[in-house]
């Protein structure tokens, strides 16, 4: 792996402390960092390198996946970090930064390879990119890469504008747009699951699949993020990016080669085949929900509009259910359902693939075969089959074959993604084509919400979302799988240890 400088805007922020430093540290102790590397972190206030290294040490203690019990490893990692006070709006600060970057590169024999990581509010993205160019920081002798956090725009137009601005400084192949769902180990496994298992590969099309359900439910509410969330809603926060990425990953045709070019082309094909929504079809395919007061794990919680910072008359969506159609040869007539929401019954990200009855019109089983891919917080798969009920041979009963991993030793999404960016592998980052097509798809929904032209359905906190979401699926003769509290008898459900924001 080539040596490099890792230059972090927003180095004093929440994401850096909770995710980025722990990820870099875990890569370091797993020997997945380059031989020689320099980390330069930025924030506005003046502070010494030593004081800042102590802040990073604390963040590792709290958030590292691996135990932080080897002082030599911790010190070795901290020694690579320098702090630079910088205001992103002050061009002269970039010259100071450049001096520090170059002096560390000289000291550590780094040949000008630079990753610029923008972990700051999105309104700074353009300013930083243009200042990077003007200060000469991007005119380096090595390679340069830009890692950029979500959100990438707030609608189609702003996303296009942002992309145009970034393209003045970085080529598309230098831009690594983070979607942390693409870093989750089970999501990175989806392609292999199909390609390396003939029993699944043979069934992977509309001949055998009745419907596909993608759920990302959370028990947390809006937390302290009302300012952001009330202007975004679940549609921008989850659907435009994470949910559509999961849809692409599960439905793309197998690439000939598993590399960034091929995978991204297959994903783009999915988005190009998505049946667009318009004013007429939105009402029958999109459910917009908002939580009211209820109970989460036995504790009463307030409704959305009385959460701190949320306007009492907010009509913001904290839940979305969506029926989508992929109009291509393989998936025509298979409904894909997406569902995501806050303050739901369980924390769970999963994909359920429901198979068709073996003989059309002849019901031979009580329950259909299911392939369930658990992404978070449990990671694994189970297959639901049917067998005879030993107490009553006339009857069939479902049986589940499980395979779950312990999770503890699996790398975090941010570890996978940062490792890939350092290696220059952009397979699991969102290409501009995907981002643009995703915005194109959701734009009519954003417009409908703006015009308040579709109803807002309420659901009590701690439920599985509004009734309208059940009806959406029932209208096609299906139901949401695994909504009952007893479904997970097979796999112990872990509670959310830390309120997850990422
Ligand atoms: N936190 C999370 O879980 C997630 C965050 N993100 C995205 O990551 C990015 C960062 O989020 P998060 O860490 O939560 O934000 P925080 O508000 O915690 O941190 C913001 C960072 O930006 C810096 N900053 C603010 N203004 C300036 C300025 N004028 N000049 C230089 N630095 C400045 C702050 O430094 P200082 O105040 O020290 O100057 C701080 O380091 C955002 O784009 C967010 O959307 C995405 C997914 C999840
Ligand atoms: O990006 C986001 O994702 C989290 C959910 O992530 P997960 O990894 O815990 O499933 C969500 O809470 C947050 O609102 C959103 O910004």
- Between strands 319-325 and 335-341, the pairing is antiparallel
Give pairs for 359-367: CB < 8 Å, separation 24+.
364/396, 365/396, 366/395, 366/396, 366/397, 366/398, 367/398
What whole-number distance in Å separates Cα of residue 20 and Cα of residue 5?
15
Is there a binding annotation on residue 180? yes
Atom 6 of ligand 2: nearest residue by CA position = 502
**pLDDT beyond 80 at 500:** no
**pLDDT beyond 90 at 406:** no
How confident is the model at residue 167, as a pLDDT?
Answer: 98
**pLDDT beyond 90 at 86:** yes
**pLDDT beyond 90 at 122:** yes
Is there a binding annotation on residue 67? no
**pLDDT beyond 90 at 490:** no
From the CA of 215, the nearest ligand is 2
How confident is the model at residue 367, as a pLDDT?
Answer: 85
Q: With beta carbons less than 8 A apart as the criterion, state whether 301 and 295 touch.
A: yes
Q: ipTM higher than 0.95? A: yes
Q: What is the mean pLDDT of residues 255-273?
A: 95
Q: What is the mean pLDDT of residues 417-423?
A: 98
Ligand 1 centroid from CA 458, angstroms: 32
Is there a binding annotation on residue 218? yes
Ligand 2 centroid from CA 149, angstroms: 13
Site to probe by mutation for ligand 1, drawn from 8, 45, 121, 148 as the one with most ligand atoms within 8 Å of Cβ, is: 121
What whole-number distance in Å separates Cα of residue 234 and Cα of residue 463?
16
Highest mean pLDDT among 164-168, 199-203, 362-366, 400-404: 164-168
pLDDT 10s digits, 5-57: 999 999 999 999 999 999 999 999 999 999 999 999 999 999 999 999 999 99
- Alpha-carbon torsion angle 352, 353, 358, 359, nearest 10: 100
Ligand 2 centroid from CA 502, angstroms: 4
The whole-chain average pLDDT of the chain stands at 92
pLDDT 10s digits, 274-313: 999 999 999 999 999 999 999 999 999 999 999 999 999 9
Tokens of 496: 């959310």
Please, what is the end-to-end C-alpha distance for the chain in angstroms? 28
Atom 48 of ligand 1: nearest residue by CA position = 502
**pLDDT beyond 70 at 179:** yes
pLDDT 10s digits, 355-396: 998 655 555 557 899 999 999 998 999 999 988 888 877 778
Q: Is 267 in the pocket of ligand 1 (CB under 6 A)?
A: no
How confident is the model at residue 398, as a pLDDT?
Answer: 85
Ligand 1 centroid from CA 41, angstroms: 12
Give yes or no: 431 in active site: no
**pLDDT beyond 80 at 498:** no
What whole-number distance in Å separates Cα of residue 44 and Cα of residue 11?
10
From the CA of 223, the nearest ligand is 2
Ligand 1 centroid from CA 293, angstroms: 30
How confident is the model at residue 363, as a pLDDT?
Answer: 54
**pLDDT beyond 50 at 429:** yes
Is there a binding annotation on residue 347? yes
Task: Report the pocket of ligand 2 as residue ranges, CB < 6 Å.
Answer: 216, 218, 237, 349, 376, 500-502
How confident is the model at residue 207, as a pLDDT?
Answer: 94
Tokens of 23: 């990820």
Q: Is 502 in the pocket of ligand 1 (CB under 6 A)?
A: yes
What whole-number distance in Å separates Cα of residue 184 and Cα of residue 411?
8
How confident is the model at residue 213, as a pLDDT?
Answer: 98
Choice among 31, 242, 431, 487 that is catalytic: 242
From the CA of 232, the nearest ligand is 2
**pLDDT beyond 60 at 485:** no
Q: What is the mean pLDDT of residues 70-90?
A: 97
- Residues of the chain with pLDDT > 70, as a percent, come to 94
**pLDDT beyond 90 at 112:** yes
How confident is the model at residue 361, as a pLDDT?
Answer: 55
> Which are the contacts of 133, defined by CB distance < 8 A and separation ≥ 6?
139, 168, 169
Ligand 1 centroid from CA 43, angstroms: 9
Cα 281 to Cα 35, 324, 445, 453, distances in angstroms: 55, 11, 10, 12
Q: Is 15 in the pocket of ligand 1 (CB under 6 A)?
A: yes
What whole-number distance in Å separates Cα of residue 63 and Cα of residue 197?
36
Q: What's the pLDDT band for 216 if we cut at 50, 70, 90?
A: very high
How confident is the model at residue 402, as a pLDDT?
Answer: 87
Is there a binding annotation on residue 150? yes
How confident is the model at residue 281, as a pLDDT?
Answer: 96
Atom 13 of ligand 2: nearest residue by CA position = 501
Highest mean pLDDT among 380-384, 404-408, 424-428: 424-428
Q: With beta carbons less than 8 A apart as the criterion, state whether 23 and 412 touch.
A: yes
How confident is the model at residue 501, as a pLDDT?
Answer: 33
Atom in ligand 2 nearest the alpha carbon of residue 241? 1
Ligand 1 centroid from CA 349, angstroms: 26
From the CA of 318, the nearest ligand is 2
Q: What is the mean pLDDT of residues 433-448?
A: 98
How confident is the model at residue 392, as a pLDDT?
Answer: 77
Atom 9 of ligand 2: nearest residue by CA position = 500
Q: What is the mean pLDDT of residues 128-147?
A: 97
Q: Is 12 in the pocket of ligand 1 (CB under 6 A)?
A: yes
Site to probe by mutation for ligand 2, drawn from 119, 185, 237 as the one with most ligand atoms within 8 Å of Cβ, is: 237
């Amino acid at each position: 792996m080539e040596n490099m400088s890792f230059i972090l805007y927003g180095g004093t922020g929440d994401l850096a402390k909770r995710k980025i430093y722990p990820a870099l540290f875990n890569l370091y102790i797993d020997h997945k960092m380059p031989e020689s590397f320099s980390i330069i972190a930025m924030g506005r206030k003046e502070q010494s390198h030593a004081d800042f290294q102590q802040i990073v040490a604390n963040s590792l203690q709290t958030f590292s996946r691996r135990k932080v019990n080897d002082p030599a490893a911790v010190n070795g990692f901290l020694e690579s970090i320098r702090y630079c006070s910088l205001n992103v709006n002050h061009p002269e600060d970039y010259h100071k930064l450049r001096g520090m970057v170059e002096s560390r590169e000289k000291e550590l024999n780094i040949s000008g390879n630079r990753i610029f990581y923008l972990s700051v509010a999105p309104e700074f993205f353009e300013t930083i990119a243009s200042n990077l160019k003007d200060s000469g920081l991007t005119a380096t002798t090595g390679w340069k890469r830009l890692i950029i956090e979500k959100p990438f725009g707030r609608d189609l137009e702003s996303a296009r504008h942002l992309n145009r601005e970034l393209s003045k400084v970085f080529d598309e192949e230098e831009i690594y747009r983070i979607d942390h769902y693409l870093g989750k180990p089970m999501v990175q496994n989806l392609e292999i699951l199909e390609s390396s298992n003939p029993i699944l590969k043979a069934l992977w099309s509309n001949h055998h699949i009745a419907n596909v359900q993608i759920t990302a439910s959370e028990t947390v509410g809006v937390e302290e993020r009302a300012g952001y969330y009330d202007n975004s809603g679940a549609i921008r926060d989850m659907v435009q990016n994470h949910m559509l990425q999961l849809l692409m990953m599960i439905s793309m045709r197998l690439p000939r080669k598993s590399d960034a070019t091929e995978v991204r082309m297959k994903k783009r094909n999915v988005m190009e085949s998505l049946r667009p929504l318009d004013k007429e079809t939105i009402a029958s395919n999109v459910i917009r929900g908002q939580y009211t007061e209820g109970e989460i794990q036995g504790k009463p919680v307030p409704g959305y509009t009385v959460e701190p910072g949320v306007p009492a008359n907010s009509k913001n969506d904290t839940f979305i259910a969506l029926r989508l159609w992929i109009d291509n040869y393989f998936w025509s007539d298979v409904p894909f359902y997406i569902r995501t929401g806050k303050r739901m019954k369980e924390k769970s990200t999963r994909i359920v693939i429901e198979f068709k009855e073996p003989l059309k019109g002849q019901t031979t089983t009580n329950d259909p075969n299911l392939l369930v891919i658990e992404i978070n917080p449990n990671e694994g798969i189970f297959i639901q089959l049917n067998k005879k009920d030993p107490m009553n041979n006339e009857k069939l009963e479902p049986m589940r074959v499980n395979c779950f991993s312990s999770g503890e030793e699996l790398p975090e999404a941010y570890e996978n993604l940062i490792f890939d960016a350092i290696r220059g592998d952009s397979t699991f980052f969102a290409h501009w084509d995907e981002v643009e097509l995703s915005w194109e798809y959701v734009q009519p929904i954003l417009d409908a919400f703006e015009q308040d032209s579709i109803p807002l359905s309420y659901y009590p906190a701690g439920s599985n979302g509004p009734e309208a979401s059940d009806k959406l699926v029932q209208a096609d003769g299906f139901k949401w799988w695994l909504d009952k509290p007893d479904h997970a008898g097979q796999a112990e459900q872990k509670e959310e240890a830390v309120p997850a924001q990422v």
